[in-house]
Amino acid sequence: MVLESMKMETEVHSPYSGTINSILVQEGANVQTGDELILIS
């Protein structure tokens, strides 16, 4: 997953392996620290 903030992109890696079941945010949405972004199984 890549997050963009102020025109800078940051890759986010999960410490868990699995498959993404659901994406909980829309592209372009503002998120805060601690927000759930995806569900992994």
Residue extents of the structural domains in the chain: 17-41
β-bridge partners, 5: 8
Q: What is the pLDDT of residue 36?
A: 93
Q: What is the pLDDT of residue 5?
A: 82
Q: What is the pLDDT of residue 39?
A: 93
d(CA 9, CA 30): 14
β-bridge partners, 3: 10
Q: What is the pLDDT of residue 23?
A: 94
d(CA 1, CA 37): 10
pLDDT in tens, 2-41: 878 888 998 888 888 999 999 999 988 899 999 999 999 9
Instruction: Name the pairing type of β-strands 8-11 and 38-40.
Output: unpaired
